[in-house]
Amino acid sequence: MTDAFSFRVRHTDDLARSGLITTAHGTVPTPAFMPVGTRASVKAVTPDEVRDSGASILLGNTYHLMLRPGEELIRGAGGLAEFMGWRGPTLTDSGGFQVFSLGERVKLTDDGVVFSSHIDGQRVNLTPARAIEIQGALGSDIAMILDECPHGTASREEVERAVDRTTLWARQQVALIRPAHQALFGIVQGGIHEDLRLAHLQTLAELDFDGLALGGLSVGEPIEQMYRILRAVAPQMPAERPRYLMGVGTPDDLLTAIGQGIDMFDCVMPTRNARNGQAFVHGGRINIKQARYIDDPLPLEPGCSCPCCRQFDRRYLRHLFTVGEMLVSRLLTLHNLHHYGSLMAGAKEAIAEQRFAEFARRWSQPLVTP
C-alpha cells in the first residue's frame, strides 16, 4: 500500500455507503463514476466539461496508450493527467480486458499475453510486470493489475483457469515497485460462479492491495446473473478499502451496485450511446433519431440543468443527428455525463440522509413521457 492514498467511509445507509478517496492529485467523493478517456480523451468533450458534469476522476486505457502515443511520451509530458489537461486523479486499467477481447490475435500463458496490435499487426508482449511498468510511466493515481477476463459464457473450467492465473499474476504484481504515489487495486474474477468469486475475493483480500475490484461482469452473462453475483460478493469485500465495479453500466446497474456497497464505477455507455443518438433520462433512454421527435419542442429532459437541455430541444437534436452534424455527439455526451454525475451526487446526498432506497426508486421512474 502507498501512504499517498487513503479511503474512509463517511456515511452508510444499509449496505450503501459514501466516502472519500484521497490521492496525490486530489480527492474523490464516493460513490464515483469515472468517465472513460480511452486514448487520453473523453470523446467529444473537454476536461473542463467533464469536470463540470460532476466527475472527479478519469480512467485511461493502458492497452491503447501503450500503442499510441506510447507510455514514454506520456511520462515525458508529466504523466497522463498533465498530458490530457485533466486537473485531478486518474485511474489506468491494465489492458487485460482489451487484450483478451482480441480473440484469435492473443496467445495466453502463465508468463503473460502476446498479441497482435489492432493498429498495424505488430506483435506485443504484455507481462504482469510490463503492465505495472507501463502504468508507472503513465503516472496514474490508481493502477490495476493485469488479470485474465473470461467471457460471461465461459465454462466453469475456463473460469477456474482464469482465477488461478489472475491470482498468480496478482501475487507477482503486488510485490513490484511502483511510483510512490500510485495505488494498486486487485481484480476479483470468478464469472457467475459464486463460490469461485468468494474464494478469489478471500485470496486477494489477504494481499497488500489498496483497493479491490470486481472484473469479468457485464461481459455477456444475463443481467440477473450479474446482479446475483453483486449481491453475494460486493458486501463481502473489505470494508476499509474502496470497492470498484469495472465496466458497468446503466444507471439502474449503478444504483443496484451502490445498494450493495460498491464505491467506484466506469463505463463507456454515456459517451458511446451518445454517439449513437441515445440519451439517458430518468426511467430510461431517449433515441433522438426516432421520428416522434421531429417536431418536439421539449429539451431531452425537462428540468435537467446540463448545457444541452438548457439551450436545445429535441427537434433540433434530431435534425443534427439526421444530417450527421458532429455537434449532436457533443451535446448528447454532455447530457449523459451530467446525468451520471447527477446520479452520483444524488446518491451521496441520499446515503448521508438515510434515504438511498427511496432515491434509487425515484431515479428509475420517468419524470416525463420520453
The three cell numbers of residue 105 are: 490475435
| Catalytic option among 13, 93, 141, 210 | 93
Contacts of 363 (CB under 8 A, 6+ apart): 251, 255, 282, 343, 346
Distance CA(130)–CA(140), nearest Å, equals 15
Residue 93 annotated among the catalytic residues of the structure:
yes
Distance CA(265)–CA(254), nearest Å, equals 8
Candidates 182, 181, 175; CA nearest to 142 is 182
The b/e string for 188-203 (b: 16+ C-beta within 10 A; e otherwise) is bbbbbbeebbbebbeb
Q: Which helix (H) or strand (E) holds 92?
A: strand 90-92
For 215, counting Cβ atoms within 10 Å of its Cβ (0-12 exposed, 13-18 middle, 19+ buried), the class is buried
CA 224 to chain CA mean position, Å: 20
| Catalytic option among 13, 141, 210, 266 | 266
**Which residue spans within 174-329 are E strands per DSSP?**
183-188, 211-214, 243-245, 264-266, 278-281, 284-287
Q: Which residues are catalytic?
A: 93, 266
